Amino acid sequence: MPARSSPRPRPAAPTRRASPSSPPSPPRSFAEVISLWPSASDLAAVLDVEAVTVRAWRRRGIPARYWAAVAEAARFSGRPIDERLLAELGALRRYRHA
């Protein structure tokens, strides 16, 4: 009778990674926009607001008066955010909460 061999380990499920040539997908919420910075404090420092304010924006959304500043900070640091995207996120947020 042949010896029983231990079951083979299953290979790990492949992880989804964007190909190097494809651009990163745009954020789908204000929380995702904020998460592009290392911390809320980092974004707050760039915008000259309190970190607690930026953390609140994760739930409430980034106010329209800050969209230009956020877009400029994103452009400067190479993040995929512009005012049009922020306006679209704001419109989606209003639509969902209406």
* pTM of the predicted structure, to 2 decimals: 0.71
Q: Of 59 and 97, which is predicted with more confidence?
A: 59
Distance CA 35, CA 40 (A): 8
pLDDT digits (tens, 9 = 90+) for 45-76: 999 999 999 999 999 999 999 999 999 999 99
Among the listed residues 76, 78, 66, the one whose alpha carbon sits nearest the alpha carbon of residue 30: 66
Token pair for residue 22? 């494809």
Mean pLDDT taken over the chain: 84
Q: How high is the pLDDT of residue 93?
A: 74
- Given 1.20.120, 3.30.160, 3.30.2010, 1.10.260, which CATH number is that of 30-96? 1.10.260
User: What residue segments make up the domains of the chain, in order of their start?
Assistant: 30-96
Q: Of 23 and 55, which is predicted with more confidence?
A: 55
What's at 42, amino acid-wise?
D
